[in-house]
A and B are shown apart, each in its own frame.
Chain A
Amino acid sequence: MEIVVCIKQVPDTTEVKIDPVKNTLIRDGVPSIVNPFDEYAMEAAVRIKEQCGAKITVLTMGPPQAASALRKCLAMGADEAVLVSDRAVAGADTLATSFTLAKAIEKIGKPDIIFCGKMAIDGDTAQVGPGIAEHLGLPQTTYVQKIREVSPHRLIVERVSDSGHELVSIPLPCVVTVDKAIGEPRYPSVKGSINASRQEIITWTAADIEAPPDKTGLNGSCTQVMRIFTPQIQKHNEMLSAESDEALCDLLLAKLQEAKIV
């Protein structure tokens, strides 16, 4: 079985503090970590590898420093690591990111499962996994909490949704994004870390994965970040109560109109 795990290197957001004067985020010197959800994705992959044997390739798109995130995953049990790093792919939004990753996965081969984290703790969109599935035309299942069964052509997984738990049977190849309930990520052994630190990381440019310049990076993005700021959260709570539901709705509507929201 071939597995690709997409991981993202993110700043340790628990260490990102707000500059009280400038009201901006102090990102200076903040340690970079593997996006925590992606560690869970790695764990899911390694468990399958242990159970039925698999070759795991970790993939990331990012600056050269992201290699350290890949090494951590190698130490956890991945067999190969691929870094897509190129000025042409920088500044990508979720559309361009997932496109680039999809192209890289095509070059890696025909994996049976593509694991992603549920979301990245810095971008928080949770769109990249589903984006990859769309670009590759593969079935997908998201927010997976448990992998019940792995067979050569099918996965049976549990996922959460707004309406409750779902049991999903999904044909392979597919894209799976995972939640923390999947299982605590292992702490890599020291030997694993040392071996990982010696292992070569495959580095590809946009040209290597045949990604056209108009579809990657800033050019390939349909959204752009204009400014990053910390929202001022002001809490004005007001409890509304009325005799009946209708009266309550009217009351709410009036309030909203007053605040020029509707």
Chain B
Amino acid sequence: MPTAELIVFLIITFLTVLLFVQAVSKKLKFIRLGAKENRSDHPGKRFANFCANVLGQRKLLQEPYGFIHFFIFWGFIFIALGEIPFILERVFPNITIPILGTSPYFYLIKEILASLVFIGLIVGLIRRWIIRPARLYLSFEAALVVILIYGVIITEWLTSGAKLALMGSHPAYSLDFIYNLVAGFFAGASAESLTTTISFLWWIHVFILYAFAVYIPNSKHLHILATPFNSYFASLKPVGGQIEPMNLEDENLKEYGVGRIENFTWKQLLDSFACGECGRCMDNCPANISGKPLNPKQLLSRTLKDHLLEKGAVMNKLGITSTGEENAEALKPYTTGYSETGQVLNKKLIGDIVSREEIWSCTTCMACQTLCPVSNEHVNKIIDMRRYEVMNENNYAHELQLAFRNVEAKYNPWGVSWSERASWAKDLDVQTMKEAGDQEVEYLYWVGCAGSFDDRAKKVSVAVAKILKAAGVNFAILGREEKCCGDFIRRAGNEYLFGLMVKDNINTLNNYKVKKIITACPHCLNTLKNDYPAFGGNYEVIHHTQFINDLIKSGKLTLNKNVEMPKQKIVYHDSCYLGRYQQEFEAPRALYRMVPGVELIEMDRNHNKSFCCGAGGGRMWLEENIGERINNMRVDQALAKEPQAIGANCPYCITMLEDGIKDRADAEHAVPVIDPAELIVKMI
């Protein structure tokens, strides 16, 4: 390369690197405003996650169009690798770059992928601009980036093709069908004109490439850079166990939950930058679909991010790292009186930025997180904001307060007398742990508040107890010693009351040396299994549908297949807390299939894409007065399959679906909701 050109090249390269680093470090400064959180443990596991989710594109491949992104991703990697010889060979003509500059197979793979990217982007554009799925934003940004990518790919093809034409042949390009194709076009051109063309195209290419490099970290496509990190730093805990405990004994802790953007952890902030705006979360969010103000994609990619960018810019300018009480004095000059800076600093995260309706609409169904390809963690943010409202501001719905009060006084949200907890088992001769005394008890049957007090759920409790007895299982219940497990309390943001319940329950359980727990409530299941370990309660917890399957498989329970059972189509509803949370989809289905006369059918939304009943995350105790009722929507989806019954495995789901049926179906179309245990019990 001539010296003059080299100087120009070095200058623009330097500028590009500078602008790129500047843009990235500016974003990093925003992320660093967040609170501390350790996400560097277990590097091995993290790397494995990174490989599966980023390199393997695991979640995207589970989607119908996901393979497109897979090829685009790997196409980019190979195109990027191809840039190395492309640039260096011109700058330093005398060096040979191993593999990238010599292997025909590298070029073959690169070109196959690059052509797929080429086609993939066209398909993508058609989807975005012509089919227009509601979840994708139409934006200038999206179009611009596609133009830049085409620019990069095409100029590279042309330059290298011309180069090949000039050289006549090149061993590394022998399998590169595109270079050869392009070289064909240039055949016959003079060496001189080819040299000029190559030089011209090369420079165009470099300019487009550099523009792309500077544009990425300054645009929403920053997600390309943030995602690999976000995947690496993703929570290693099961989705049901990601709520961080709070140390309420810490006297220095004066503000609970998150009421200021910078109180989110750096990882929570990074999520916003990693969001690729693909919309999978919103497409499966029951709150969003039923017309509530919550849209998980919007929340992360716009609401929180925009606020961080705005407030973070002011904070960084003033050199403050927190706008908490401790800095109130220092902030006074900015926040009193009118100033634009003050306006920004005075904005309340909850109320001004995120509405209260938004944070209370979430059912913690985990559809968003389960489907998000970039490992974003939506639900924790919502719970953190609820914590702020409940614990810090004492500002939350009256109905929820009533449920809290009931738990405090009666240890169950219904507020039924505590001493009635074991009444459902009165005539069943089920022993309590206390009655068992010194006798070895293998399994604790955790009944839960619903199973103990809700008339409908009690029937399932009875069925389960009868099955356990018939199989000769050595089990007991806690009876009056059982207290609300705290699932909804925690997810509704009241970590304090949750802590009280957990402490008492763990004391009781550990006192009886409980190791294995069976429960018919997926919410209790998740909390006992995933929330309790952080508080010193470690148990093996299993859902009754899983346990009954085991009993049948091991021959401890034999079913009488000759009983008269009605012929019926049962449409199955996956509960969020057994399905997405535990990834248990098969056990309940297997039980229905064992029942004579039952034909099991699926709704359109099933397994990981199942639609919530609307009761999780404390929603059970809250009025639902915005948009359509989620349970009614689910009932509509079920009734569309014209079943004779709906199958469910969770007391909340059963209640919600039955309510929905009352609302939606006339007497003729009303169908029962049945837990599999209620059918199995008829066969013993």
* A-to-B contact residues, CB < 8 Å: 12, 14-15, 17, 29-31, 33, 187, 189-194, 197-198
User: Do residues A198 and B251 form an inter-chain contact, with CB atoms below 8 A?
Assistant: yes
User: Do residues A33 and B409 form an inter-chain contact, with CB atoms below 8 A?
Assistant: yes
User: Do residues A190 and B405 form an inter-chain contact, with CB atoms below 8 A?
Assistant: no
Q: Given A15-B417, A30-B419, A198-B249, 10 more contacts at CB 8 Å?
A: A12-B409, A12-B418, A15-B418, A17-B419, A31-B411, A187-B401, A187-B405, A191-B256, A191-B391, A191-B392
| Cross-chain contact of A197 among B248, B390, B405, B411 (Cβ < 8 A) | B248
User: Do residues A190 and B409 form an inter-chain contact, with CB atoms below 8 A?
Assistant: no
Q: Which residues of B contact A31 (CB under 8 A)?
A: 409, 411, 418
User: Do residues B480 and A190 form an inter-chain contact, with CB atoms below 8 A?
Assistant: no
- Bound state CA distance, A12 and B410, in angstroms? 10
**0/1 interface trace, chain B 406-443, chain A, CB 8 Å (1 if under):** 00010100000111000000000000000000000000
- Bound state CA distance, A211 and B252, in angstroms? 39
- Bound state CA distance, A192 and B390, in angstroms? 11
Task: Tell me the smallest distance from the CB of A182 to a CB of chain B, in Å.
Answer: 19
Task: Tell me the smallest distance from the CB of B420 to a CB of chain A, in Å.
Answer: 9
- Bound state CA distance, A187 and B402, in angstroms? 9
User: Do residues A14 and B394 form an inter-chain contact, with CB atoms below 8 A?
Assistant: no
- Bound state CA distance, A14 and B417, in angstroms? 8
- Bound state CA distance, A190 and B396, in angstroms? 11
User: Do residues A190 and B497 form an inter-chain contact, with CB atoms below 8 A?
Assistant: yes
- Bound state CA distance, A191 and B249, in angstroms? 12
User: Do residues A194 and B417 form an inter-chain contact, with CB atoms below 8 A?
Assistant: no
CB of B494 closer than 8 Å to a CB of A: yes
Q: Which residues of B contact A33 (CB under 8 A)?
A: 409
- Bound state CA distance, A194 and B248, in angstroms? 7
**0/1 interface trace, chain B 472-489, chain A, CB 8 Å (1 if under):** 000000001100000000
Q: Which residues of A contact B496 (CB under 8 A)?
A: 190, 193-194
User: Do residues B480 and A29 form an inter-chain contact, with CB atoms below 8 A?
Assistant: yes
Task: Tell me the smallest distance from the CB of B605 to a CB of chain A, in Å.
Answer: 36
Task: Tell me the smallest distance from the CB of A105 to a CB of chain B, in Å.
Answer: 29
User: Do residues B419 and A15 form an inter-chain contact, with CB atoms below 8 A?
Assistant: yes
User: Do residues B481 and A29 form an inter-chain contact, with CB atoms below 8 A?
Assistant: yes
Chain B interfacial residues counted at CB < 8 A: 21
* Chain B residue with the shortest CB-CB distance to A188: B394
| Cross-chain contact of A190 among B390, B411, B419 (Cβ < 8 A) | B390
- Bound state CA distance, A33 and B391, in angstroms? 22
- Bound state CA distance, A1 and B494, in angstroms? 34
The 10 closest A-B pairs by CB, nearest first: A189-B394, A190-B391, A190-B496, A15-B419, A194-B248, A15-B418, A194-B496, A17-B419, A187-B405, A193-B496
* Chain B residue with the shortest CB-CB distance to A72: B408
Q: Which residues of A contact B419 (CB under 8 A)?
A: 15, 17, 30
| Cross-chain contact of A194 among B391, B405, B411 (Cβ < 8 A) | B391
Task: Tell me the smallest distance from the CB of B362 to a CB of chain A, in Å.
Answer: 19
Q: Which residues of A contact B390 (CB under 8 A)?
A: 190
Q: Which residues of A contact B404 (CB under 8 A)?
A: 187
**0/1 interface trace, chain B 303-344, chain A, CB 8 Å (1 if under):** 000000000000000000000000000000000000000000
Taking CB atoms and an 8 Å cut-off, the chain B residues in 453-510 that contact chain A are 480-481, 494, 496-497
Q: Which residues of A contact B249 (CB under 8 A)?
A: 198
Task: Tell me the smallest distance from the CB of B617 to a CB of chain A, in Å.
Answer: 17
* Chain A residue with the shortest CB-CB distance to B246: A194
Task: Tell me the smallest distance from the CB of B251 to a CB of chain A, in Å.
Answer: 6
**0/1 interface trace, chain B 372-406, chain A, CB 8 Å (1 if under):** 00000000000000000011101000000100110
Q: Which residues of B contact A198 (CB under 8 A)?
A: 249, 251
Q: Which residues of B contact A30 (CB under 8 A)?
A: 419
Task: Tell me the smallest distance from the CB of A75 to a CB of chain B, in Å.
Answer: 10
- Bound state CA distance, A192 and B391, in angstroms? 9
Task: Tell me the smallest distance from the CB of B389 to a CB of chain A, in Å.
Answer: 10
8 contacts between A and B (CB under 8 A): A15-B418, A29-B480, A31-B409, A187-B405, A190-B390, A191-B391, A191-B392, A197-B248
Task: Tell me the smallest distance from the CB of A9 to a CB of chain B, in Å.
Answer: 14
- Bound state CA distance, A15 and B494, in angstroms? 25
User: Do residues A191 and B394 form an inter-chain contact, with CB atoms below 8 A?
Assistant: yes
- Bound state CA distance, A17 and B480, in angstroms? 12
Taking CB atoms and an 8 Å cut-off, the chain B residues in 485-539 that contact chain A are 494, 496-497
* Chain A residue with the shortest CB-CB distance to B481: A29
- Bound state CA distance, A31 and B481, in angstroms? 11
- Bound state CA distance, A46 and B26, in angstroms? 51
Q: Which residues of B contact A14 (CB under 8 A)?
A: 417
Q: Which residues of A contact B256 (CB under 8 A)?
A: 190-191, 194
Task: Tell me the smallest distance from the CB of A131 to a CB of chain B, in Å.
Answer: 29
Q: Which residues of A contact B391 (CB under 8 A)?
A: 190-191, 194
Task: Tell me the smallest distance from the CB of B254 to a CB of chain A, in Å.
Answer: 9
Task: Tell me the smallest distance from the CB of B206 to a CB of chain A, in Å.
Answer: 59
* Chain B residue with the shortest CB-CB distance to A193: B496
Q: Which residues of A contact B401 (CB under 8 A)?
A: 187
- Bound state CA distance, A189 and B401, in angstroms? 10
- Bound state CA distance, A90 and B486, in angstroms? 36
Q: Which residues of A contact B481 (CB under 8 A)?
A: 29
- Bound state CA distance, A29 and B511, in angstroms? 15
Q: Which residues of B contact A190 (CB under 8 A)?
A: 256, 390-391, 394, 494, 496-497
- Bound state CA distance, A17 and B411, in angstroms? 17
Q: Which residues of B contact A193 (CB under 8 A)?
A: 496
- Bound state CA distance, A197 and B480, in angstroms? 26
Q: Which residues of B contact A187 (CB under 8 A)?
A: 401, 404-405
- Bound state CA distance, A191 and B497, in angstroms? 11
Task: Tell me the smallest distance from the CB of A33 to a CB of chain B, in Å.
Answer: 7
* Chain B residue with the shortest CB-CB distance to A198: B251
Of A14, A31, A194, most buried by chain B (CB within 10 Å of CB) is A194
- Bound state CA distance, A29 and B507, in angstroms? 14
- Bound state CA distance, A194 and B249, in angstroms? 8
Q: Which residues of B contact A17 (CB under 8 A)?
A: 419
* Chain A residue with the shortest CB-CB distance to B395: A189
Q: Which residues of A contact B497 (CB under 8 A)?
A: 190
- Bound state CA distance, A212 and B401, in angstroms? 46
- Bound state CA distance, A217 and B183, in angstroms? 108
Q: Which residues of A contact B248 (CB under 8 A)?
A: 194, 197
Q: Which residues of A contact B394 (CB under 8 A)?
A: 189-192
- Bound state CA distance, A142 and B418, in angstroms? 33
